[in-house]
Amino acid sequence: MQRIVYSATDVSARAFLILAFRKAGLDVRADAAGNLFGRWHPGGVFPPLTDDGEPAPVRVAGEGAVATGSHFDAIPGSGIYDGTVGVLGALAAVTALRGAGYTPAVPIDVVAFTSEEPTRFGVSCLGSRLLAGALAPAAADALVGTDGVTLAAARADAGYTGPLDDVRLPDGAYASFLELHIEQGARLESAATPIGVVTAIAAPAAGWANFSGGGGHAGGAPMASRSDAALAAAEVALAAEAAAVASGGDGTVATVGVWDVSPGAVNAVPAAANVSFDVRDPDGGVRDAVVAAVRAAAEAAAARRGLALDWSVVSADPPASSDGGVVSAVEAAAAEAGLRSMRLVSRAYHDTLFMARVARTGMVFVPCRGGVSHRPDEFVSEAHLRGGVEVLARSLAKLAGRYVAPAEVGGGEVEKEL
Ligand code: GLV
Ligand code: MN
Ligand code: MN
């Protein structure tokens, strides 16, 4: 499957989610990037109104809301669990909490982020970057998609017309943010452990090596005088592999996943080749050294083969650490649920990478079969989904405290249990 941001399938997923949020009794809003928010107000589904019809103030002064959620876009050829587990799981968690008679002391938001995947506009985590103020609104609007349409035009087409400047979250909007996600690796499965508690997210970088200026007749152009752009790209891919393996880092990975070779004829020497690179390591310095080695290899290949090189780094983000308090809350929640948990570093990136800039964050991982993800055969068992949702729900209850009606505490100070 695939669900590319602002496409017809993405837009219908949005309609589905808005209905599902409403059905769960959440107060729905969307921002100008199309991030969707479903708010569970403390002390009731909707805030009680004061005499003049205004919503009553939140009862625990000075404490931000708690948020949970993930993305719902999907790369080409993906499965159905990446991202969606964290959106629908968040809905299931708040529904379960409500069913259990719990009422939060601060609002809980379910967030469905716009375009965590970089498929269309080349930049990952678009919605959460904008929420965290990590991407300038004008630069975001100017991004051009693979179809030549700007983000400004594409979001307007999908119904999101307001200024992107309004997307950035006000300071302190969220005290904490917790994302449920599939592991996308096999460490939990290997350790027969149903819950992963993420302590950090590795630093990702991505960009392009575009070679041009070669070409010619496959029969007539002698090997010795060729400028083959695809062979230069092949050198980049092999250099990326070698640099990642030799990095000395903690599981450095490098991938060359997009190959755009032209003219794409059996009997023509490739005249141009545009290839992507994606490099990650928990240490941003190690990641940068690998990117530098790939660039040096690209420059050397271009020079040796008589090609022009257009090198660009689209994003190079620092790693993120989970908050100790959130990690403890998740571990305690797993213990309460009777589920074994282990700490681990996320090698995939997530919207949490950016939410960590504006809130105390953490992530709950559930195992996926064989560690397989970004493939159609991605699979998560119902038992693991159930466990993840229970741990998410119990964690949210700890982070959001419990609302106690004034009557229950004799009209005095509202209590907050953590
Ligand atoms: C997210 O999909 C990633 O590539 O880590
Ligand atoms: Mn993904
Ligand atoms: Mn994901």
Q: Answer for the pair 187, 365: CB distance below 8 angstroms, yes or no.
A: no
pLDDT at position 42 is: 78
Mutation to probe ligand 1, out of 124, 125, 351 (largest number of atoms < 8 A from CB): 124
**Could you give the domains of the chain?**
8-201+319-408 (3.40.630.10), 204-316 (3.30.70.360)
Report the run of H or E that residue 273 belongs to, with start and end. strand 272-281
Is the minimum distance from the CB of 13 to ligand 1 under 6 angstroms? no
For the CA of 83, the closest atom of ligand 1 is 2
Is the minimum distance from the CB of 37 to ligand 1 under 6 angstroms? no
Pairing verdict, β 253-255 and 308-316: unpaired
pLDDT at position 54 is: 54
Q: What angle do CA 369, 258, 75 make, to 5 degrees?
A: 45
CA of 74: how far to CAs of 7, 99, 123, 371, in Å? Answer: 11, 31, 14, 17
Q: Answer for the pair 253, 277: CB distance below 8 angstroms, yes or no.
A: no
* Cβ neighbourhood burial of 220 (10 Å; 0-12, 13-18, 19+): exposed
Q: Answer for the pair 35, 355: CB distance below 8 angstroms, yes or no.
A: no
pLDDT at position 62 is: 41
pTM for the model: 0.91
Tracing tokens 């994606």 back to the chain, one arrives at 278
Separation of CA 210 and ligand 3 centre (Å): 27
pLDDT in tens, the chain (418 residues): 999 999 999 999 999 999 999 999 999 999 999 999 999 987 644 444 455 655 444 443 346 899 999 999 999 999 999 999 999 999 999 999 999 988 898 899 999 999 999 999 999 999 999 999 999 999 999 999 999 999 999 999 999 999 999 999 999 999 999 999 999 999 999 999 999 999 999 999 999 999 999 899 999 999 999 999 999 999 999 999 999 999 999 999 999 999 999 999 999 999 999 999 999 999 999 999 999 999 999 999 999 999 999 999 999 999 999 999 999 999 999 999 999 999 999 999 999 999 999 999 999 999 999 999 999 999 999 999 999 999 999 999 999 988 766 555 554 444 444 3
Is the minimum distance from the CB of 131 to ligand 1 under 6 angstroms? no
- The ligand minimizing its distance to the Cα of 124 is 1
Mutation to probe ligand 1, out of 3, 70, 117, 281 (largest number of atoms < 8 A from CB): 117
Q: Answer for the pair 414, 402: CB distance below 8 angstroms, yes or no.
A: no
pLDDT at position 405 is: 62
